[in-house]
Amino acid sequence: MAFFKVQATNQAPLILGLVATSTSSALVKEVTCAGENAVGSASRPRLYNPSTDGTPLGASIAFSMNSVSVSPVTGGHKDWSVNPAFPSGGTGAFNLPMSICWRFPDNQEFIVSMGNQGILYAQGTGGHLWTGSILFEER
């Protein structure tokens, strides 16, 4: 079992994604997300499988959490040349700043199956910035 993390800071909106290849899948173990400013508007963060996949821009930013350096097959991305489909839902003053941490118990993880994507999305406008991370196990 190999564990990896992908993270991004100062994003508006936050579009942090895992891109599984045809030979890999990912079990999301933990998601963190925090709003940076007490001004502006934000949506509640969402972790979802998009109905239309995005096209990542640049190399994967996923890094190993193991004592031995191992490269993941599943890509982790924060920049997109074509964005994935976003979930519906608007922005609002959700008691900013906001901070969440979701931990998924064994056998109840969020799954990014082979050839699909998993996206952590949080909208931010008017100066609201997000920092987020996804900890995942590759299978």
What pLDDT is stored for residue 107 in this prediction?
94
pLDDT at 93 over 70: no
Query: In percent, how much of the chain has pLDDT > 70?
Result: 94
Between 67 and 109, the more confident residue is 109
DSSP code of 21? -
pLDDT at 98 over 90: no
> pLDDT tens digits for 13-22?
999 999 999 9
pTM of the model: 0.91
Contact status, residue 79 vs residue 57, Cβ threshold 8 Å? yes
Q: How confident is the model at residue 68 (pLDDT cuts 50, 70, 90)?
A: confident
pLDDT at 118 over 90: yes
DSSP states of 87-103: PS---B--SSS-EEEEE
Q: How confident is the model at residue 91 (pLDDT cuts 50, 70, 90)?
A: low
Residues 79, 80, 83, 87, CA torsion sign: negative
Q: What's the rounded Cα separation, in Å, for the pair 46 and 49?
A: 10
Could you tell me the end-to-end alpha-carbon distance of the chain, in angstroms, rounded to an integer?
7
